[in-house]
Structure 1
Amino acid sequence: MISALLERHFAEAQDRIVVREMEGREYSLAELRADVERIAATLQDVYGDCSGLVFGIAARSSYTWVATMLAIFRVKAVLLPVPIEFSDEQIGSLLHKATAIFAQDAHTAARISAILPGIACLDAASERSAWPAQGAPAGERIEPGICGIIHTSGTTSKPKGVKIRDEAVGLLVTNVLKRVPQAPLDYLSIVPMSLLIEQVLGVFLPILSGGSLTLMPARYAEYGARSGNARDYLDLIAQVDPNFLYLPPKLLEEADALLESTSVTSLFGRRNPHIITGGAKIPATVLESLDKRGVQVYEAYGLSENSSIISLNHPGHRRIGSAGPLLDGIVPTIVDGELRVLTPTLCAGYYNSDDTSCELTDGYLHTGDIAEIVDGYLYITGRKKHVIILSTARNISPEWVETVYKESALIDDIVVFGEGREEPAAIVLSQHDEAAIRGEMARLEPRLADFARVRRVRVVADIERFRKDYYTVTGRPRRQLIERDLAASLY
């Protein structure tokens, strides 16, 4: 159990600096332990037996976020983090059954109270007198053994919630620790802690390895929460000099471009950090270019339904273009091209679900991803539920087509669609004119089958607005919505 692993570390590890705030203060393991105990004791004083109760966190990543999460684990309650950039409807759909919600500040608390009147908003840093009185009403209880509920994108505006098992996260973290450097891991957090992968890589691994977590300055939006300049985030790395990082593919693409004019040490620091990437497909050409510059990146693949990571490249076991070998204990099978896994770190089901929910009923996790396994390495080639069937009876995996075109430095992103049409079309996000984009696509298209080449193109220059309207908070395009709203303009 992850809760037991953390409690053992708190009890046995020597004191050290465990959390650092850029432009802020440092916190020792002893301080963190004391704050966890204080928050946990106050929760129990207010609500009594907290086991199975759901507590939300509506806040950006912070020291208090970490302490609150660990306190929720301690009282055997259930963590439900919600990105504050979610819409009111999304927040309400996830948190309406929560007992209480830890809010980032008074403004966030007021917003939550307007969305969910009657549900208490808590300030983890406040004195006991600011909390509700003893015997405060509690919400529903989740079944035993659940430590968290993680939002994941669905087909509607209401995100799904995946119920994460305490035992599963503990086993997953133990297995991932075998595939990262055997040393204290000093990590820089760039993406939101509301993502399970950031909790695993940014909190659990650094603490349990004897390392530390560094948080960005509060004036920086968390990467992916809203549009920001990639260079601003990359410039933080050398300042912190971490030895362990998770960088989304887009930041690595920007880093590769920056390394044309700056040194690896100037960008990544002196410690040659172990870099993990995932969450979206990254062009193999980017990884190959970084490799030539001396920057090794370890691609991973996972789903919240598996408590995050399913496979991971690691030192001595790395193939560019693959998602690496599967973690210990995971047994794969390929059925009609789809990856299904028998896994000891399976979730406990959904808090709410829709037609994108993974099938769990036969003991296997049906990932919905098209894959192949070659010499023990997993290759993800597309998404089953996103397969486009043209009127010519040809099938296209849009992610694969998009990956080829995104190798162009002129294309920020591209979304391909065309179900039931004679040929595919695409929305291209770019600041460059259509003629330049078409030239780049023509240069790259020989790598695609004739029927998968995109000739119908609409270039969108207002990238920030388009992402706000048509992307999920985790950066995935809402394909059905895009096709519904924009297909007519291309056919």
Structure 2
Amino acid sequence: MAALPELLKRQVMAHPSRIALRGPEAEFSYQQMMQAAEVVAEQLSARGVKRAGVCGDNTIAWVLADLACLLAGAVSVPVPVFFSESQTAHLIERAGLDGLLHSEEVGGSEPLCHGVWLQPLPVVAAPPIPKDTAKITFTSGSTGTPKGVCLSVAQMTATTLALKEWLAGVELQTHLCILPLATLLENIAGIYLPLLMGATVMVVPLAQLGMTGSSGLNLGKLVAGINQHQPQSLISVPELAMALVSAAEQGQLNSRSLRFMAVGGGRVSAELLARGRAAGLPLYEGYGLSECSSVVALNVPAAECEGSVGKPLSHIDIKVDSDGHILVRGNTHLGYLGYLDDEPEQDEWLDTGDLGALNPSGFLSVNGRSKNLLITSFGRNISPEWLESELVQGLGIRQAVVFGDGEPQPMALITVTDGRSPDHLAGTLRQLNQRLPDYARLATVYIRRQPLSQSEGHITANGRPVRLTIQAHLPTLLAKAFPLSMSTSLANQAGEFHMAFFDRLQQETAQARAHVSGAPVVKAIGEGCFSLESYTWFLTQAFHHVKHTVPLMMACGAKLPSRMEFVRKALVEYIDEEYGHDEWILNDLDACNADKEAIRTGKPDVSIELMVAYLYDQINRGNPAAFFGMVQVLEGTSVELATPLAEQIQKILGLPNQAFSYLYSHGALDQDHFEFFRNLMDGITDPTDQQAIIDSARVVYRLYGDMLHSIPLPATRKEKQHEAA
């Protein structure tokens, strides 16, 4: 099999004048590209450079430097632009680099040619690396110390040719790189693959496309860049895909030129893929890992399966063992930098650390990770144990649990028992964040005052967190904690701030939400001070607002503008699931020996009367999106309180299960509903719609909280009723 350098030269012979690389200020034909790369390669050889770090933003010079390393037989080590100074220093030392290749002048650098600059590094004893290593790709690192994966030219060639074969039926003449070129996926599938297909690679500095660091995004700039360049293919991570789907749904993104848009590097929901297709984006999910030279499975137009990451490519074998672990063989890495004694055999099965399944048709699905590794929606790997140790040591606290798999940034639940205020902790936390790589900076830290206990199943005997139990109880744990929002790396230049709208909604309604979670009835139930009168009064109010849920949804759907068609579609699903729930409540009341027909024709408490009237008014006279403020309140409250409180109430009152169909069903149902709601809210990007939902949620939290405050309690727990508005 011919290797990449020879295959690239064949493309030059086939169409020398065709444009290979196009940037904002220059373009290179295939012949010019090869000539330039050969000149840079000669310069590297003349200077004795054996291992070079390729640095900087996405530019033509970056591509030329990388190709020159291939031609010169020098080891290319891409340096991610989002690495911290300490991580970059670690990479330089660990890889034993002779020099750094830049696309602009830096201190101590000398020009080679065609915009490539060489910064010589002090001579050190180069650590041994596996034979035939041509590229060392450093992952973002599940801890603060990145790991170097050693790959050969043959392995990168095999992946590129397998992708070319897999995409043979797709017309791809132009590709726009929107991921950092130092990302192996973009390096292989965004540079080598298009060039072997005879296509044009468009390389634009990421800042011009609205990207900063590993996770910062100005969506307007990205959309403008795609609209300007009109590529036929893109490679994205879930966070970018979600943003582009929203832009396409709102008519901002012109997707007519796109033929193939790969998405990988993290979990991708089936709903997002469906929304993308409906909006005209040819989204196809794939799966890969650095240890296999990037892509190992991919959906394509000729072979795709919903819920899968596609069929394995032809150059590797995949199987799933009896424990559900995904194993790969055939094109695995040479080894990790610094671990020569642990080099894998090429016929050895590599355990990916992921869990999955192969269906009878050969499509692979990925169901999670066998260990605790978190992967952000930007595709960055984070070890929760690493961040937890940073928090415990940095803050001098007893406990910390980091979570947020699939989220843009990680979050943490910490236990602080020494009385320090949130303001006092905020300063220390921000200092900690500044020391972390930007992809690992905490978005929100939840502060609790009572330690997690072994008796509740949250920690082991030696104090380690029981993650599955904590994840299951997370809504309740967070509801009882104080949320402290951090300024993460998602803050862009010019004061811009990118935060998923659901997270913003949670943050901006936290104070209002406390009126619900702080209602005396919650504590009273925990103390056993709750009566049948209390329960039937609560169910009566529930009936009088739940009976309006479907009519409110229908009214909202009728008023939504065409740009929110995806929301109207979601309402259809909501209506189908919510219809008839008011009758469930009446049946619960009947099981409590209440007169359900009298309740059906009766009137609610003034707080519920005002809440329902307010929502109808907002839909009819204001912004119909305000309806989702009620969804935020009621589904969020159900997730946090329904099941645990229902169990306690049943124990106190001794009522049969038939009296709890509403609370038990909503505690379980709304777990799934709330995830669906999260994704739906993240798709709403119009500032006016977002503010209407936030304002509505604040009002509904107040009125629904007033209802909870008004629940009649036994004499020992009675309190004055709050005003309803």
Label 1:127 to 1:226 Cα distance change in 2 as closer, same or farther (>3 A).
closer
Match of 1:484 in 2: none
CA contact (8 A) 2:158 2:315 kept: no
Label 1:177 to 1:184 Cα distance change in 2 as closer, same or farther (>3 A).
same
What is the CA distance between 1:302 and its match in structure 2?
A: 0.3
Label 1:332 to 1:448 Cα distance change in 2 as closer, same or farther (>3 A).
farther
Match of 1:39 in 2: 40
Match of 2:8 in 1: 6
CA contact (8 A) 1:150 1:161 kept: yes
Secondary structure in 2 matching 1:200: helix
**1:238-257 superposed matches below 5 A:** 238-257=227-246
Residues 188-243 of structure 1 deviation map (CA, whole Å, 9 limit, x = unaligned): 11110001110112111111111101122564254663412223212221211111
What is the CA distance between 1:415 and its match in structure 2?
A: 11
**1:469-480 superposed matches below 5 A:** none
Label 1:65 to 1:246 Cα distance change in 2 as closer, same or farther (>3 A).
same
The AA in structure 2 aligned to 1:85 is F
What is the CA distance between 1:153 and its match in structure 2?
A: 3.3
Corresponding position: 1:258 with 2:247: yes
Match of 1:330 in 2: 316
Match of 1:76 in 2: 73
What is the CA distance between 1:93 and its match in structure 2?
A: 1.0
Structure 1 counterpart of 2:135, from 130, 148, 154:
148
The AA in structure 1 aligned to 2:284 is Y
Normalising by structure 2, report the TM-score.
0.51
CA contact (8 A) 1:40 1:75 kept: yes
Normalising by structure 1, report the TM-score.
0.74
What is the CA distance between 1:36 and its match in structure 2?
A: 0.8
The AA in structure 2 aligned to 1:38 is V
Between 1:185-194 and 1:412-421, the stretch displaced more is 412-421
Structure 2 regions of 5+ residues with no counterpart?
375-402, 409-441, 447-451, 453-457, 459-464, 484-498, 514-628, 641-664, 679-725
Label 1:306 to 1:207 Cα distance change in 2 as closer, same or farther (>3 A).
same
Match of 2:20 in 1: 18
CA contact (8 A) 1:42 1:128 kept: no
What is the CA distance between 1:450 and its match in structure 2?
A: 9.2
**1:362-373 superposed matches below 5 A:** 363-373=348-358
**1:191-270 superposed matches below 5 A:** 191-217=179-205, 219-220=207-208, 222=211, 225-262=214-251, 267-270=253-256
CA contact (8 A) 2:57 2:81 kept: yes
Label 1:415 to 1:269 Cα distance change in 2 as closer, same or farther (>3 A).
farther
Label 1:252 to 1:74 Cα distance change in 2 as closer, same or farther (>3 A).
same
Match of 2:608 in 1: none
Label 1:223 to 1:215 Cα distance change in 2 as closer, same or farther (>3 A).
farther
For 1:66 and 1:441, the matched residues in 2 are separated by 48
CA contact (8 A) 1:423 1:454 kept: no
Between 1:296-305 and 1:434-443, the stretch displaced more is 434-443
**1:437-448 superposed matches below 5 A:** none
What is the CA distance between 1:247 and its match in structure 2?
A: 2.0
For 1:10 and 1:414, the matched residues in 2 are separated by 51
Corresponding position: 1:378 with 2:364: yes
Corresponding position: 1:431 with 2:517: no
For 2:56 and 2:159, the matched residues in 1 are separated by 26
Secondary structure in 1 matching 2:239: helix
For 1:306 and 1:163, the matched residues in 2 are separated by 10
What is the CA distance between 1:308 and its match in structure 2?
A: 0.2
Secondary structure in 2 matching 1:61: coil
What is the CA distance between 1:336 and its match in structure 2?
A: 4.7
Residues 265-296 of structure 1 deviation map (CA, whole Å, 9 limit, x = unaligned): x6234323311100011111111122223333
**1:21-170 superposed matches below 5 A:** 21-22=23-24, 24-47=25-48, 53-96=50-93, 97-106=96-105, 109-110=106-107, 121=109, 123-125=111-113, 139=126, 142-170=129-157
Label 1:185 to 1:226 Cα distance change in 2 as closer, same or farther (>3 A).
same
Match of 2:270 in 1: 284
Label 1:344 to 1:450 Cα distance change in 2 as closer, same or farther (>3 A).
same
Label 1:137 to 1:303 Cα distance change in 2 as closer, same or farther (>3 A).
closer
Secondary structure in 1 matching 2:280: coil
Between 1:216-225 and 1:247-256, the stretch displaced more is 216-225
Structure 1 regions of 5+ residues with no counterpart?
114-120, 389-397, 404-411, 460-491
For 1:163 and 1:438, the matched residues in 2 are separated by 50
Residues 79-114 of structure 1 deviation map (CA, whole Å, 9 limit, x = unaligned): 0011233112101111121111113434xx44xx7x
For 1:28 and 1:278, the matched residues in 2 are separated by 30
The AA in structure 1 aligned to 2:348 is G
Match of 1:468 in 2: none
Secondary structure in 2 matching 1:385: coil
Label 1:274 to 1:148 Cα distance change in 2 as closer, same or farther (>3 A).
same
Q: Provide the identity percentage.
A: 24
Which structure shows the bigger proportion of residues in helix conformation? Answer: 2
CA RMSD for the aligned pairs? 4.0
CA contact (8 A) 1:338 1:368 kept: no
What is the CA distance between 1:60 and its match in structure 2?
A: 1.1
Secondary structure in 1 matching 2:371: helix
CA contact (8 A) 2:90 2:145 kept: yes
Structure 2 counterpart of 1:175, from 157, 162, 171:
162
Secondary structure in 2 matching 1:268: coil
Which structure shows the bigger proportion of residues in strand conformation? Answer: 1
CA contact (8 A) 2:41 2:69 kept: yes
Secondary structure in 2 matching 1:74: helix
Between 1:435-444 and 1:140-149, the stretch displaced more is 435-444
For 1:414 and 1:286, the matched residues in 2 are separated by 25
Secondary structure in 2 matching 1:35: helix
For 2:203 and 2:337, the matched residues in 1 are separated by 30
